[in-house]
Structure 1
């Protein structure tokens, strides 16, 4: 589970305080000025993140700012700060290096300790921040799953659910085809992740 740290000197932490934290490989986020620290991702998690980042970068044609673990400051006070696994922006970060306006897409890849946070807490926070599209990827199941949520009247609605070798397709934030299975499977993933072949790494 995420480790919650007490506020310094009885006050709320801000993004300015994050710069003074050690670079220990863990994820540091703020919720109402409280520090939440999550463990470094395991192999299956960062494999999925790296492959998805590569695939989306190719499909975007370099027209968007796309990155893993971008810091996003969700309020003007700087006391609410999240770090999605992946995000696609159409604007540069603020002068402090953190993004303070919504990305076009945020992606969270579920870890054992992050299930509730990714599927409930961040779902509400990202909707309130105004992120149009939110994906939740579960690499823990027998078949890798992907849920696409789109913002409608301030709330996320589930629009697509894909598992395993299903070909997931969307037009947001740009035309994308993706086979969830190849986010984590061994084998020639770049050849198959876009749905060009239905061959399975298990064969």
Structure 2
């Protein structure tokens, strides 16, 4: 039995691109989840896959600093801060936000239900700005996630949006030199310059 397991471990991994391009027709949620963990960030939008390379060190530095800034307030509110998890907004629509603040979840499930998400954060760069500012913003609003925080990767500028009916409205903006004061769903103060490398 051990030998069989070893044989499987020695088999070359099929590249993600080969799997994606050889697939015919829309992707189901079951097929998407069968990928498991990958080096690429793979999201499912209504039968289509959105594949992006692993984030840059700058992106990851901002994500870690932002998570740290939210952690204390989240713990005080009985909430959780999670980075880069699958979030099911509805069947067949599973993005991977850069960071989420959630209520109670099952930590062993591969997908977090969108109804548990209180705040969703995306770190935007010129290469993905349209996706974060239009497509994902619309999807998160449709899923009725109360708060959406967009971070501009180059400057650290923070744009906090709150759900108003079926769409988001800009609630607060903090540019370098300013401080974003969060009162919901967590209490936190975030300075854009504290998120950037070299600070």
Alignment partner of 1:89 is 2:102 = yes
Alignment partner of 1:8 is 2:20 = no
The structure with the larger Rg is 2
Taking the aligned partners of 2:140 and 2:134, their CA distance within structure 1 comes to: 10
Distance 1:54 1:20, change over 3 A: same
Aligned residues of 1:67 and 1:86 also touching (Cα < 8 A): yes
Taking the aligned partners of 2:145 and 2:109, their CA distance within structure 1 comes to: 21
* Structure 2 gap segments, 5+ residues each: 1-16
Distance 1:184 1:87, change over 3 A: same
How many residue pairs match? The answer is 179
Specify which of 23, 36, 47 is matched with residue 61 of structure 2. Answer: 47
Output the TM-score relative to the length of structure 1.
0.80
Specify which of 158, 161, 176 is matched with residue 170 of structure 2. Answer: 158
Runs of 4+ in 1 over 3 A off after TM superposition: 5-9, 93-96
Distance 1:22 1:66, change over 3 A: closer
* Structure 1 gap segments, 5+ residues each: 188-203
Secondary structure of 1:8's aligned partner: coil
Output the TM-score relative to the length of structure 2.
0.82
Distance 1:156 1:60, change over 3 A: same
- Give CA-to-partner distance per residue, 1:63-103, whole Å, 9 cap, x none: 2121001111121xx31111100000112049742112331
